[in-house]
Amino acid sequence: MNNFITIENEAENSFSFAFGDELRRGILSPWLFPLLPINIPRRLLMLRKERRCVSDTQNIDCLFVFDLEKMRTKDQKAFVEDALNYTDNIITLGIGKPSIDVVFDHQISSRSERNVEPREWNTSVEKIILGIIRAYRPQKMVFVGKYPYAGIMGAMRRCNSRENMHWISVRGDKNTINERSDRFSKVKDLTYFVEHDEIVRNTIYFDDESTEMKRLLASTAQENGINMIKTIEHAEFLFVSNSETDIMKHLLKNQTIIYSSTSRVGLGIEIPSYVVNNLICIEKGHELSTFKRMILYRKGKNNRSNAVMSVQAKLDVWFNS
């Protein structure tokens, strides 16, 4: 199975088309007819070689299709700018005129801007998307907009798998989204990527009030201006002793997880590289010194903004979930 998007049932790429085309040329040009026993096998071998070359060629990570007409300026500022930098190996198509200063690899006017009939415009959209897929062979396609146009759905129907198709909906009606989502393997609302929980700086949460470690570290925390709170969602630092605590959820929110080397916290969990710096292991016998060094270091970094997990990180987690 291909790990990139391909277009199915294209006659010109089939062996039967190649055979018939050579036969047609032989009939139209009689001098070629005696050469058919040579030309037909050569044509088929060339087609087979081309297919092998395509399967070995490096392909693009992702094709993003942005319906800019349905995205407000704040949506474009919060999502589009970051999505364009998801990796260095993406291709982008903007539909409509952006309201922010960004550049797309490909651009097409919206239907209202071109003032054409829906059928004509959707045919243009379908041809452009299919042309991009042929040229770049992306691993996945992501439509970002309210509802996918007929031209987008037409292009998707020509492709090999719904597993490669994703939709980030922009203020769409839930019932309508459910009705139109069967061609997509994953659907997510834009708010998931652009809204963040606020982290209260200089706060710490202990998931077990009775632990000896809390008694050991609490006074040091208070001496350094770190206040204890009882809401895990808003604490900057979390001291975790319970192995059942979902540490990944909090790491992805940019909260700092502190745990003892003697605990079973984090065992068997693959930690992404972009959050591993927020996972602090305290070695037995060095609890206070490690904790103090961490606090002093993080205090020097607290001029950063309260924004948490980036759009790129959320896309990465969503794609691979």
**What average pLDDT does range 38-66 have in this prediction?**
74
pLDDT of 311 > 90? The answer is no
pLDDT of amino acid 218? 81
**What average pLDDT does range 14-42 have in this prediction?**
77
What is the residue-wise DSSP string for 213-279? HHHHHHHHHHHTTPEE-S-GGGEEEEE---TTS-HHHHHTTTPEEEEETTS-TTTT-PPPTTTGGGE
Please state, in angstroms and rounded to a whole number, the distance separating the CA atoms of residues 3 and 63. Answer: 14
Taking only the tens place, the pLDDT of each residue in 63-77 is 999 999 999 999 999
Query: Domain spans of the chain?
Result: 11-56, 62-194, 200-299
pLDDT of amino acid 144? 97
**What average pLDDT does range 141-159 have in this prediction?**
93
Fold of the domain built from segment(s) 200-299: Rossmann fold (3.40.50)
Taking the alpha carbons at both ends of the chain, their separation in whole angstroms is: 20
CA atoms within 13 A on the CB side of 270: 4
Nearest of 237, 212, 233 to residue 287 by alpha carbon: 212
CA atoms within 13 A on the CB side of 96: 19
Assign domain 62-194 to its CATH superfamily. HAD superfamily/HAD-like (3.40.50.1000)
Please state, in angstroms and rounded to a whole number, the distance separating the CA atoms of residues 49 and 55. Answer: 10
pLDDT of 185 > 70? The answer is yes
Region of poorest pLDDT, from 68-82, 95-109, 122-136, 238-252? 238-252
pLDDT of 318 > 70? The answer is yes
Taking only the tens place, the pLDDT of each residue in 81-94 is 889 988 888 999 99
Number of H helices, E strands in the chain: 13, 11
The more confidently predicted of residues 224 and 187 is 187
Q: What is the pTM of this model?
A: 0.62
- Residue 2: enclosing H or E segment and its boundaries? none
93 touches 105 (CB < 8 A): yes
Please state, in angstroms and rounded to a whole number, the distance separating the CA atoms of residues 265 and 267. Answer: 6
Region of poorest pLDDT, from 52-61, 142-151, 174-183, 238-247? 52-61
- Residue 127: enclosing H or E segment and its boundaries? helix 118-136
**What average pLDDT does range 98-117 have in this prediction?**
92
